[in-house]
Amino acid sequence: MSQASEDNLMAREISFKMDSQPLLATTLCIDALIKHNQCDLDSVRRLMERAIEISILTGQKMQACRFLVKMAQFQIEDNDKDGAKFYLQRAKDIEKRVPELPIRPSIVLEAQIAFEEEQLKKCQDLMDEALNSAHCLDFEQKMALTILNIKLLEHQNEHKKALMLVKSIPEKMRQAAQTPYYSCELGLLTAQAACNLLLENLQKTKKSSIIPITPQWQGEMAKTAKEALDQAFLGSLSSGARCQSFNVALAYSIYHAIMTNYDQDNLKHHQAETSRYLEIAVQMCDELKKPNLSTKLKRTAETIKMNIRSGIVKKSTFDVI
């Protein structure tokens, strides 16, 4: 049994001795966190629903709201948008019954869902509202907001700004929100920004005989992308979110496809790794039981392989992510 499990079991015994229902609910939530990292999603749902039920029955509205937000976050991590919206709505219903909240616990999550649904103005408005009360946010919420900001910058093709924002994240925030999920997300976004800069440079180079960026810069960007992908890979190993592992495999493939244009000394290696990671991504996509995405990915895989053979890499090829 892990130290976290042992400590939580001890806390539960104390909750029974004290007859403390709020403490019992908290231990159930911690159990759910542990089960989520073990990919035991049925246990996660059962434990969280019980914790939410106890909180509501004992009148602990804000505790119930926080648990609902956490459950919605689990759904996002598991790529279940409908499930996330279901728990988000339940949290918002409770928030309406609590007057004079300094900040809604669900606001960051609502912004995340708005971004996933491409409601970018709504997402930005919610982020601005949250930032106006940033002193009320915990470190995890601040990290989620930062990651959302990076995603918006990437969506706007502001790749340099995205990388600058990654580098500016305070170490204290990184340490406090150092969960496998956020570690993986941050790694993927960093790699995405670096790869997009390499692609932009490649497209400029193909249009002109003048190389706009130095080889040193190219090397630094390639190193940044690879190190970030390795960070994302380690995070995906410890995370219960299977869809993250799929994203990491696809990102590795994209990185190696780009490097076929930069690292001619290891051309065959990058070609082989591009194909290998694409095959892994396709296999994992099949396991996620998302046939539409799997079909699209298989077409993308063939396009990438053809592009590599012809020496052409286009950014539009990677819009499957």
Show the domain range for 304. 179-321
pLDDT top residue among 214 and 45: 45
Number of compact structural domains in the chain: 1
pLDDT at residue 178 tops 60: yes
Q: Answer yes or no: is 310 within a domain.
A: yes
Reply yes or no on whether the pLDDT at 317 is more than 50: no
The answer to whether 2 touches 34, Cβ cutoff 8 Å, is yes
Q: Token pair of 148, please?
A: 């959302």
Residue 253 belongs to some domain of the structure = yes
pLDDT at 319: 44
Residue with the two structure tokens 């700004």: 161
Domain membership flag for residue 48? no
- Per residue in 135-167, pLDDT (tens digit) is 888 888 888 899 999 999 988 989 999 999 998
Q: Could you give the CA distance from residue 281 to residue 252 in angstroms, rounded to a whole number?
A: 10
Residue 175 to residue 167: CA distance in whole angstroms: 14
Does the residue 138 lie in any domain?
no
Q: How far is residue 49's CA from residue 32's CA, in Å, rounded to a whole number?
A: 10
104 within some domain: no
Q: Does residue 153 sit within a domain?
A: no
Please tell me the distance from the alpha carbon of residue 247 to that of residue 234, in angstroms, as a whole number.
Answer: 13
Q: Name the least confident of 64-68, 97-101, 218-222.
A: 97-101
- Name the pLDDT band for 264 (thresholds 50, 70, 90): confident
Specify the pLDDT at position 190. Answer: 93
Type of residue at 50 = R
- pTM recorded for the entire structure: 0.81
* Cβ atoms of residues 44 and 35 within 8 Å: yes
Average the pLDDT over 275-290 and give the result.
Answer: 78
HSE at residue 308, side-chain half, CA atoms within 13 A, is: 26
Q: For residue 79, what is the DSSP state?
A: T
Q: Give dist(CA 252, CA 156) in Å, integer.
A: 23
